[in-house]
Amino acid sequence: MNSFIAIMNSDSRPDNLHLDLNLLLVFETILAERNISRAAERLDLAQPTVSNALNRLRRLTGDQLFVRTSKGMAPTPHAERIAQPLHQALAMLRNTLQAPRVFDPATANRSFTLYLTDLGEAFFLPRLLARLRVLAPGIRLVTLPMPDRNPQAALESGEVDIAIGNLPDLTTGFYQQRIFREHYICISRPDHPLLQGRMTSERFSQAFHAVVMPHGTGHGIVEQSLIHQGLQERIMLRLQNFLVLPAIVTTSDLLAIVPNSVAAQLSAIYPLATFPPPIALPRFDVKQCWHERFHTDAGNQWLRKQIAEIFMEGQAPLGTTP
């Protein structure tokens, strides 16, 4: 919190600017979006207003805070230093100002934000939305992909309510509940030349591969396993999304290793061959995770219960690590 206190006491600066808490919201949103226009849209403000707020922050801190790069507005080292204390301070303020509420799903008018991959959207949303339509017609859902940096921050602040998937990085400070156990399976086009007979390790080593690596998930183990087998030169395509795979593998000689639930879902729609990969790959847990700050929030509790009832299929819950 020292950096936050330093900013609060910044009247000693030459322009003697006073802190407006709205400026901190602007800082938090630019940090998340890395783009002034998207930050303005998210805050429902005009772009010049956000730019002006950033200029005020720059004068207040004596630092540029964000600079333009080819990948968007990148934070300076000082902005990175103060980011976490500001997240914590804003979260504390939000939590203080929000009075406890009883959650009535039948009358609730609330939006929940979920971290989900494209696979998660296709797998979870249809059944979850069907239940919400009956039990909680006023509930709205927003989904976001897991960011490549600091996914914990949005869950800590309450900007994101629940993360669902193969999430090995969400541990300390988070509760987690296993929804089901999962394993990997290989997909290809049915007439793949290497499928004339049983897929052996030798045949597998001759194939070319597409691998999917969504940010913040544990699916990078697939690429790591292929590299461990000495097949790094056989990886011809790296993707962020699972659901484009059918268009790729059905029109090429590429193989792809995907979660079994993906293979089952995709092969029901597309002409795909499925078979066990002839390399060792660990099973993994698909979990829902939430920050300990919102463990007792009535709305969060209710939504977690719906997800568990729909998808857990009798699985025992994992331990929590708040």
* Residues 163, 146, 182, 194, Cα dihedral to 10°: 160
Quote the pLDDT of residue 255. 93
d(Cα 185, Cα 242) in Å, to the nearest integer? 13
Query: Over the stretch 79-128, which tens digit does the pLDDT of each residue have?
Result: 999 988 888 888 888 777 765 567 899 999 999 999 998 888 888 999 99
Quote the pLDDT of residue 8. 37
Quote the pLDDT of residue 11. 41
Quote the pLDDT of residue 291. 92
Give the DSSP letter of residue 168. Answer: T
d(Cα 116, Cα 272) in Å, to the nearest integer? 24
Contact 177, 288 (CB under 8 A): yes
In one letter, which amino acid is 251? T
Query: Over the stretch 121-148, which tens digit does the pLDDT of each residue have?
Result: 888 999 999 999 999 999 999 999 888 7
Quote the pLDDT of residue 216. 65
Quote the pLDDT of residue 101. 65
φ, ψ for residue 306 (rounded to 5)?
-65, -45
φ, ψ for residue 106 (rounded to 5)?
-65, -30
All structural domains of the chain, each given as residue ranges with its CATH number in brackets, are 2-97 (1.10.10.10), 111-181+285-311 (3.40.190.10), 184-282 (3.40.190.10)
Q: Per residue of the chain (322 residues), what is the pLDDT tens digit?
A: 333 333 333 343 444 445 678 888 899 999 989 999 999 998 889 999 999 999 999 998 999 999 999 888 999 999 999 988 888 888 888 777 765 567 899 999 999 999 998 888 888 999 999 999 999 999 999 999 888 777 788 898 899 999 998 877 676 788 999 998 889 999 999 989 888 878 888 888 889 999 987 776 777 788 888 888 888 899 999 988 888 888 899 999 999 988 888 788 888 888 899 899 988 888 888 899 999 989 989 999 999 999 999 988 544 444 444 4
Q: Hey, CA dihedral for 134, 135, 140, 141, is it positive or negative?
A: negative
